[in-house]
Amino acid sequence: MKIAVLPGDGIGKEVTSQGVKVLRAVLGDAHALELHEAPIGGAGFDAAGDSLPPATLELARQSDAILHGASGVAEDEKRLPQQAAGFALLRLRKALNLFANLRPAFMFPELIGSSTLKREVVDGLDLLILRELNGDVYYGEPRGIDASSGFNTMRYTEPEVERIGRVAFQLARQRRKKVCSVDKANVLETSALWRQVMIRVGRDYPDVELSHMLVDAAAMMLVRNPKQFDVMVTGNIFGDILSDEAGMLTGSIGMLPSASLGDDKKGLYEPVHGSAPDIAGKDIANPLASILSVAMMLRYSFDLEEHALRIERAVREVLRKGLRTADIVEPGTRRVGTEEMGEAVAVAISQV
């Protein structure tokens, strides 16, 4: 198992080392684990004058999976997007053709009190946002008008929508068999194409229920009645926005893991949150999103479902014991730091 570890910047470094700790704990000596660390983001600038140094990209290409922390530094705010440290991640996703971004929002019952929403709204919440990760209004090559449909496909081409649509239906088949496709088909040409293709692809999956929702309504429904959703499939920018919103339903964005997949088993795994320079280096960040990303890595890149479940059960166990980082602390629970939380999960691995 060759894994590229790219901690990046800010809290990315702290949370990734806890993810690695738990990875080692769950695998023990049973698997040949090869971990290679490389700089990305601001750390890439410092080490090699490039946010995605060629050696880092090469390592990622040659690995079975990538564990990313977070890329982005405070100075990014004064830079053009392509020159920002955080842009490394977009380059990496594109270079490896990782087009399917899975962002599960799952309510751990122990954290219901940390959600800003009422208990009955989030109790039992279990949804998956599937975000297309390479197209859309994000930086990319200009495209133009598609000859066959006449649509302005500056943002999405038909094959791109089709392949993400297929992933959505396949994922839904393993869950509650519902896909909600989110678009803005009433104003965007690219969304009209999106919707047409989703309807066509959906015919191949008659056992899965397909619905459509405009993105503004979807944003509203996520806070009003999020339990109606099973798999929500959407484009790059809407998925970016809606996944932060969905993350907060579960108590904290610090709980949200993600997987970015392509056509094969290789994947990039990372917390949904960013590098949070304001709280970096203080041992207060929540490492659980990184730890849960490691579980996704074992599930999707290595087919180690049992090991993935063990990590998820261990996380649940430490929450049940009342350990909380600052973002999810409540009266009656015990506040711990990044390091102690990671250690507790690693220890719990042998108890679940």
Q: How far apart are CA 278 and CA 9, in angstroms?
A: 12
The smaller minimum CB distance to ligand IPM, of residues 122 and 272, is found at 272
**Proportion of the chain in helix, strand, coil states, percent, rounded to 5:** 50, 20, 35
Tokens coding 307: 């090991």
317 binds, among Mg ion, ligand IPM, none (CB under 5 to 8 A by kind): none
At closest approach, how far in Å is the CB of 124 from Mg ion?
A: 25
At closest approach, how far in Å is the CB of 236 from ligand IPM?
A: 7
Indicate the burial class of 237 (C-beta count within 10 angstroms; 0-12, 13-18, 19 or more): middle
At closest approach, how far in Å is the CB of 246 from ligand IPM?
A: 12
Tokens coding 339: 């390091």
Residues that bind ligand IPM in the complex, under the rule CB under 6 A: 72, 86, 89-90, 240, 272, 274
At closest approach, how far in Å is the CB of 248 from Mg ion?
A: 12
The CA-atom distances, in angstroms, between 65 and each of 6, 40, 44, 266 are 11, 15, 19, 5
- What is the pairing mode between strands 178-183 and 65-70? unpaired
The smaller minimum CB distance to Mg ion, of residues 240 and 312, is found at 240
The smaller minimum CB distance to ligand IPM, of residues 210 and 232, is found at 232
Contact by Cβ (8 Å): 195, 226: no
At closest approach, how far in Å is the CB of 89 from ligand IPM?
A: 6
Q: How far apart are CA 40 and CA 46, in angstroms?
A: 9
Residue of closest CB approach to ligand IPM: 86
226 binds, among ligand IPM, Mg ion, none (CB under 5 to 8 A by kind): none
The residues that are catalytic are: 138, 184, 216, 240, 244
The smaller minimum CB distance to ligand IPM, of residues 16 and 346, is found at 16
185 binds, among ligand IPM, Mg ion, none (CB under 5 to 8 A by kind): none
41 binds, among Mg ion, ligand IPM, none (CB under 5 to 8 A by kind): none
Angle, to 10 degrees, between the axis of helix 305-320 and the axis of helix 11-27? Answer: 120
Tokens coding 270: 């990372």
Please give the angle made by the CA atoms of 26, 114 and 305, to the nearest 5 degrees: 25
The smaller minimum CB distance to ligand IPM, of residues 120 and 278, is found at 278
90 binds, among ligand IPM, Mg ion, none (CB under 5 to 8 A by kind): ligand IPM
86 binds, among Mg ion, ligand IPM, none (CB under 5 to 8 A by kind): ligand IPM
Restricted to residues 234-263, the positions that interact with Mg ion (CB under 5 A) are: 240
Q: How far apart are CA 268 and CA 48, in angstroms?
A: 22
The window from 50-58, 176-184, 221-229, 232-240 that contacts Mg ion (CB under 5 A) reads 232-240
SS3 of residue 270 by DSSP: strand
The smaller minimum CB distance to Mg ion, of residues 153 and 252, is found at 252
The smaller minimum CB distance to ligand IPM, of residues 165 and 271, is found at 271
At closest approach, how far in Å is the CB of 169 from ligand IPM?
A: 23
The Cβ of residue 170 has, within 10 Å, a number of other Cβ atoms equal to: 12
Q: Which three-class secondary structure string do you get for 203-221?
A: CCCCCCEEEEEEHHHHHHH
At closest approach, how far in Å is the CB of 270 from Mg ion?
A: 11
Q: How far is CA 27 from the centre of its chain?
A: 22
* Total residues interacting with Mg ion, rule: CB under 5 A: 1
The Cβ of residue 6 has, within 10 Å, a number of other Cβ atoms equal to: 31
Residue type, 62: Q
Which residue matches tokens 């219901």?
A: 112
Using CB under 5 A as the criterion, which residues of the chain lie in contact with Mg ion when the complex forms?
240
